[in-house]
Amino acid sequence: MKKVLVAMSGGVDSSVAAALLKQQGFDVVGVTMEIWPLDSSSTSSEFARGEEKKSCCSVSAVDDAKRVASMLGIPHYTLNFRKLFEDKVIRDFIEEYTNGRTPNPCIRCNEFLKFNALFKKADELGAQSIATGHYARVGVRDQGSGVSRTLMKGIDKTKDQSYVLYMLNQEKLARVLFPLGGLTKKEVRAIAKKLKLPVADKEESQEICFVPNDDYGKYLENNIGSKVKPGPITDISGKVVGEHKGIIYYTIGQRKGLGAFGGRKYVVKIDFKNNSIMIGKKKDVQGTELIAGKISFVSGKAPSGELEVTAKIRYNAKEGGAKLIPMGYDIARVIFYEPQNAITPGQSVVFYDGDEVLGGGIIDEKVG
């Protein structure tokens, strides 16, 4: 019987994933990554004060996962990943915002915890595979001399999470199971209710789990203190038109909190070196070209030349037709055929061919 380690967050998705795998005859072991709360020496002072959030990393979420595992009759373990989470996710989040960039911590969490540390734990427990409640699919392509795995979008387009999984490679895809990839969210809820799982009606957490009340500014200010300094606000021509309260409070495309400047203005650029932000009109926020780094491809091989793709520049963005131009080992230029709104350094750009995820990388700059 094949043993599979299921990452159980205490939510309905991972709970149903575990239930389905057990029904399919797998030897299921539930595990919950304990990343909350951090101890009092943690960088995350909000955690140290015990401001729990109702999220995938809260104490109550761990309890929910244990209840579901007990109901399913499967063993359950909690894994202490607190230090790893702080080192790989929280510190990066703080550093990126301090440098005027806007990171996606969920992608870092997937890369370093769920699909790195969790694989190591699977090996320790003798599990051949790991599974999560992500809405994505793994496909197989016959190449004559062997097979390769493909990462595919989930069937439910409103819940597809393939964007945050673009860093998966062939080795990992060969050992990953996504039981919910062929289901809709509505169907998953129905299964949970039919099985009378205690989390069947549990609401989803939409916020970043370690930021209380989704207040990024307060969280960052509490953690970097004196590094938050006011600076100039300039217009497109470079003229100083005001003063900002600290670059950590702003992101590209932001309008809220800028004040009155004779009409609607948006953050067009954040200049970390000069501690300034540039504002402009809606059209000034749009762009068609970007440079991305830390590029990875699911196939393990970069295209030999230019490639026609669709791409999107953030999780909730629409895909747009684009030309992908490799520029080196892990750098690429992406040229969109239609303007994209708020190309933001720190966010991920992900490349697709239809429903297949080709790969992605981190946006370094907008260049056009």
Measured in whole angstroms, how far is the alpha carbon of residue 156 from the centre of its chain? Answer: 18
List of residues 6+ apart from 355 with CB closer than 8 A? 152, 153
User: What one-letter code names the amino acid at 103?
Assistant: P
What tokens appear for 356 in the block? 């297949």
What tokens appear for 284 in the block? 């000034």
| pLDDT tens digits, one per residue of 125-146 | 999 999 999 999 999 988 777 7
d(CA 176, CA 170): 10
| Mean pLDDT of the region 104-126 | 93
pLDDT at position 249 over 50 = yes
pTM of the model: 0.91
| pLDDT tens digits, one per residue of 253-268 | 998 878 777 788 999 9
Q: Which residue numbers are catalytic?
A: 109, 209
Total Cβ atoms within 10 A of residue 344: 25
List of residues 6+ apart from 143 with CB closer than 8 A? none
Do 60 and 10 meet the contact criterion of CB atoms below 8 Å apart?
A: yes
d(CA 88, CA 223): 16
Give the confidence band of 40 by pLDDT, cuts at 50, 70, 90. very low
d(CA 85, CA 113): 7
Question: Mean pLDDT in the chain?
Answer: 90
Measured in whole angstroms, how far is the alpha carbon of residue 209 from the centre of its chain? Answer: 12
pLDDT at position 42 over 60 = no
Domains of the chain: 3-214 (3.40.50.620), 229-280 (2.30.30.280), 285-366 (2.40.30.10)
Q: Where does residue 124 rank: exposed (0-12), middle (13-18), buried (19+ CB within 10 A)?
A: exposed
- Of 193 and 218, the structure prediction assigns the larger pLDDT to 193
